Structure 1
Amino acid sequence: MSTFRALKPFIIKNKWYYILGILWLLFVDGLQLLIPEVLRHFTDRLSANQLAIGDLFMYSLYLVLIGVGIAFFRFLWRIYIMGTSRKLEYELRNMLFSHLQSLSSNYYNHHKTGDLMAHATNDINAVRMALGPGIVMVTDAVFMTVIAISMMALTTDVRLTVFALLPLPFLAITIAKMGKVINHRFKSVQEAFSFMTDTVQENLAGIRVVKSFVQEDAEIHKFQEKNQLHFDRNMNLVKLFGLFHPFVQFISSLSFLIVIFYGGRLVIYGDISLGDFIAFNTYLGLLIWPMMAMGWVINILQRGAASMERINKILNSKPEITDQPQAQPLEFVQGKIVFDRVSFKYPKSDEYALRDFSLTIDSGKKIGIIGRTGSGKTTIASLLLRLYDIDEGKILIDNRPLADITLKSLRDTIGYVDQDSFLFSTSISENIAFGKDSYLQEKVVHVAKIAQVHNNIMDFPKQYETFVGERGVTLSGGQKQRISMARALIKDPKILILDDSLSAVDTDTEEKILAGLAEEMKEKTSLVIAHRISTIKDCDEIIVLDEGKLVEQGTHDQLVKKKGLYYELYQKQLLEEKLAEE
């Protein structure tokens, strides 16, 4: 049960639903066990010529009443047990999704989306089956087996009961041996499903790339391989489980063969009545379902345990970035930022992304950050948002270390526009207002105008209610960047970080955006990370990074005069602009 430990609070909270459901299930089983007794008395009176027409109606009424009772209590146990298992599925999926939201961003660098989706679908369904139909089958198997065998022995003949049950130990041994194999093969099936799901998700997300490189056939072939793996592993499981049913039926037929041969002799010699023989066969028939249920129980419980183990691996994963015990919210933010001899390596990397990096940004200043690809520009933004913890040095906001600030207040303080410009599959208005539960439409329009995307939006048939499609696929790169910028601005952040977020915008629009930002972010701190010098040349100060180190610092004119790395980048961009004009 340690595998299902994470579900303990749910089981305790809903224990009475399970208890009552099992009680109704026992009522159904008890009513089913009345049928052999009705048949026993009916057969004995029939063979003794003691039945009248009225007795036929009486026995028929007994069977009808038993059938109605079975139907009524079966409805109750399905509501209580199966309904509770559906509630478990609902709460477990919420628990899993909530935990995924709490994990640090680095977790998703090492776990594929398709695999996580498989956990939230197939695995949770397998757990539901274990704690729904699994409980029903366990109860049926135990109660029906014990009571039916007891009735067979007490009401008919002990010797006949013992002989009839001789094949059952072979069944128990087979179940024990097959359980572990089923568990292992089911894990393989779930892994194959994860591979296939991940392939589909990744391919659909990158469908434009696939089509632009004319790789449809190659991707179809890759999917077919993953689909074939899923099929083969399913067939391995089906073959194993398929062997089990004929085996159970064979064992059952051996029991009936013994009863017909030995029980028939007992009837002939008068040791038991014909009614006893009929009742005994009916009890034995009722035992076939528990025998079959044992196989289902092992299969379902093994699948549920295997899936719960996979889910537990996620639930047991701890977020790398959490609030420290001494952390307090930021209040009355001024926006002063200090990097004090910061050194940082990304997880599983031997190279420093930043090395001995020091920088002081006074509140209200606009700082430009430039450098070659891989020089550490985005790392500065990631560390300031505390997506990672630093290895050495200190980062302070308003003279408070980041570790002393709650994550929520830290990230509420910062407006961040990243390079990807990710948009959700909803309306433009909801994408801009994503940071809060609600905003006045006037505020949405205001920030859209600053981001120079309002006119584009008004050209759409549904304007701000336009559905943007998955990841903003219906919009251009520049439109996505500007909507992402509006989303950051609507928070009214004290610190704004633009991480190469104007790269898909033409220079004229860029100038208008920067002019609007200058007014909007007056007396607020801004960090503008860019590859284009035109984006940062008017900043209060510019820093130049190279291989994780700050190599130059100053205004645009000062850095040009130094004729260092910044000057080299500037000359290259001037040359590129001249070539583009020609």
Structure 2
Amino acid sequence: MFKTFERLYPFLYKHRFRYLLGIIWIFLADVMQMFMPKVLGKLIDDLGSGALSFRSLLYGLLVILGSALLTVLFRYLWRMYIFGTARTLEYDLRNMLFSHLLTLSPNWYNRRKVGDLMAHATNDIGAVRFAFGGGVVMFFDTLILVTMTLFVMITTINLKLTLIAIIPLPLIAIISHRFGGLIHHRFREAQEAFSRLSERVQENISGARVVRAFVQEEAEIEKFNEASHQVLEKNTRLIRVQSIFQPVIQLFVGLSMLIVLIVGGGMVLSNTITIGDFVAFTAYLGMLVWPMRAIGWVINILQRGAASMDRLNRLFEETPDICDGPDTDYSIRTLKGHIEIKALTFTYPGQNKAALKDINLSVPPGHTVGIIGKTGSGKTTLVSLLARLYEAPPGTIFIDGHPIHRIPLSVLRGAIGFVPQDHFLFSMSIYDNIAFGVEKASLQEVEQAARMASVHTSIMDFPDAYQTMVGERGVTLSGGQKQRISIARALLKKPAILILDDALSAVDAHTEAEILKNLKQSPTPRTTFIIAHRTSAVEHADEIIVLDEGHIVERGHHDTLLAQGGVYARMVEEQSLRGHLEAIL
């Protein structure tokens, strides 16, 4: 179990004094509890012998009251120190997980589901926090209280009676060990079932429109019920173990009390101990009931925390496919956008067929390249490799003469403004969405980027203008508005390289022309890649390349390609004809 929590050792070392103070407060709280039974027993003996005076009664009551008040104070302090530190652990662990997730490559996310990751960030981290909060308190409270209580019982009352009373304790320890491993395994199964349920809920909420459009409500409810039943079944299996575990512990606690009543009662009758000693002993034994029960809870809590930490460790052990390596040249701080691609052939991990084959391309700084081709021809793959979302073979891509692998990732991606096909917007204001990635961007700068993306007028039509909240994934906006806001976000970075991956598909021809005109007239020099299905989006590019099944089958200027009468010319002709037919109809 200790190896499972190894990742948390730096945190525990950093906060060792807070935990130490918390344990000291637990110790002092337990010390205060030791006074009350002994004082009560003394008062009973004095009452029985007739030696009880008003002064001794008042003194005894004040000691009991003072001990109770100090116990309350010390319990407040250990809660602040231990529970407070556990909350800090939860905060740090959640930040660690979030930071780590952001380093992982897109291909990793293709294999994972959001619901599962959310379960890790909520349930699993919560279980670890409780292990280092309530679990730590129960462990040390049990250890200290049992040790002190037994010491007082042995030294001040009767050794023989104490030894008889603690006979069940070793049995409790053995049972706790046996049940601990079973609880760990079944709790992990329950957490994994909850992760699958979270995945189902997240997918249905995100795809609610699709579910309704295809009238799949009943089918999805049935799938949800099946996943929910799995959670119920796994938790029921866990509860079965816990339901046996706790009563068995209680059985041995009750057995201990029975032994004390029989043996202790006989000792009182034989005058071996006084009635006051018997009352005090019974009170001390009652104080041992909580630690005996807590043994089971401690094992349960720590095993749950260990199972959750086990799941988190598997996430932390995932490494990004793409990161800065030992040959990274950190002297490279800026890029101008001169791109060379030499004999690039690329195959996605786990695939047999190459997505790109023998690509050669030279793009001077400030030039615009149009990329045309049918779906699946490799257009997005090519620009994804430029941004190192996937790793290109060594020696195939150079930017400003530097091999792309040697450019620090932060410099490379900081120099690229990427507008992907999936134009994702965050659930915040339009201003915040456009300013995302640029610290302290002024409203004037944001508006300028929006004007270049031809979306400023649309934004000003909203009642709250740039402070309009867009909803999750930009649900309150049209497809064209989302695309243009994504373009504005990329332009605000003033990147050396701008990539528009089918980023004009949802806008009309007039708006498309306006955006392209703004980009061409922009005073900021940038190398631009425009991926499009409509040839009108690339006809003014400095060079157009036509991809087909990963190959460049044609390249050149718009007029040159038309004159060749090849694939590009046929696409222009087909789209022109389609436009005429739509106008007529």
TM score, norm. by length of structure 2:
0.96
Q: Quick one: distance in 2 between partners of 1:392 and 1:15?
A: 47
CA contact (8 A) 1:343 1:392 kept: no
Paired residues in the alignment total 582
Structure 1 residue 115: Cα displacement: 1.0
**2:436: which partner in 1?**
434
Deviates more, 1:291-300 or 1:326-335: 326-335
Map 1:182-581 onto structure 2 (within 5 A): 182-325=183-326, 326-328=328-330, 330-331=332-333, 333-391=335-393, 393-520=395-522, 523-581=525-583
Structure 1 residue 571: Cα displacement: 3.4
Give the residue type in structure 1 aligned to 2:283.
Answer: T
Q: Quick one: distance in 1 between partners of 2:523 and 2:560?
A: 24
CA contact (8 A) 2:373 2:546 kept: yes
- What whole-Å deviation, never above 9, does each CA across 1:102-158 have from its counterpart, x for those lacking one? 222222111211111111111111111111111111111112222222322222222
Give the residue type in structure 2 aligned to 1:86.
Answer: R
Give the residue type in structure 1 aligned to 2:144.
Answer: F
Q: Quick one: distance in 2 between partners of 1:535 and 1:161?
A: 89
Deviates more, 1:151-160 or 1:504-513: 151-160
**2:40: which partner in 1?**
39
Q: Quick one: distance in 1 between partners of 2:4 and 2:316?
A: 12
Partner SS for 2:417: strand
CA contact (8 A) 2:449 2:488 kept: yes
Q: Quick one: distance in 2 between partners of 1:102 and 1:65?
A: 55
Q: Quick one: distance in 1 between partners of 2:329 and 2:385?
A: 17
Map 1:49-198 onto structure 2 (within 5 A): 49-198=50-199
Q: Quickly say closer, same or farther: Cα 1:9–1:331, change in 2 above 3 A.
A: closer
- What whole-Å deviation, never above 9, does each CA across 1:214-272 have from its counterpart, x for those lacking one? 22222222222222221222222223212222222211111111111111111111112
Structure 1 residue 524: Cα displacement: 2.5
CA contact (8 A) 1:375 1:548 kept: yes
Structure 1 residue 385: Cα displacement: 0.4
Partner SS for 1:333: coil
CA contact (8 A) 2:395 2:403 kept: no
Deviates more, 1:547-556 or 1:124-133: 547-556
CA contact (8 A) 1:327 1:403 kept: no
Give the residue type in structure 1 aligned to 2:500.
Answer: L
Structure 1 residue 522: Cα displacement: 6.6
Partner SS for 2:340: strand
Q: Quick one: distance in 1 between partners of 2:73 and 2:442?
A: 54
The sequence identity of aligned pairs, in percent, is 49
C-alpha root-mean-square deviation of aligned residues, in Å? 1.6
TM score, norm. by length of structure 1:
0.97
Q: Quick one: distance in 1 between partners of 2:554 and 2:523?
A: 25
Give the residue type in structure 2 aligned to 1:348.
Answer: G
Partner SS for 2:303: helix
Deviates more, 1:70-79 or 1:154-163: 154-163
Q: Quick one: distance in 2 between partners of 1:333 and 1:133?
A: 53
CA contact (8 A) 1:329 1:410 kept: no
Partner SS for 1:356: strand
Give the residue type in structure 1 aligned to 2:74.
Answer: F
Give the residue type in structure 1 aligned to 2:316.
Answer: L
Q: Quick one: distance in 2 between partners of 1:514 and 1:82?
A: 58
Partner SS for 2:476: coil
Partner SS for 1:508: helix
CA contact (8 A) 1:342 1:392 kept: no
Structure 1 residue 431: Cα displacement: 0.9
Partner SS for 2:423: coil
Q: Quickly say closer, same or farther: Cα 1:72–1:332, change in 2 above 3 A.
A: closer
Deviates more, 1:332-341 or 1:267-276: 332-341
Give the residue type in structure 2 aligned to 1:46.
Answer: L
Partner SS for 1:419: coil
Give the residue type in structure 2 aligned to 1:5.
Answer: E
**2:28: which partner in 1?**
27
Q: Quick one: distance in 2 between partners of 1:295 and 1:190?
A: 20
Partner SS for 1:369: strand
Structure 1 residue 46: Cα displacement: 1.8
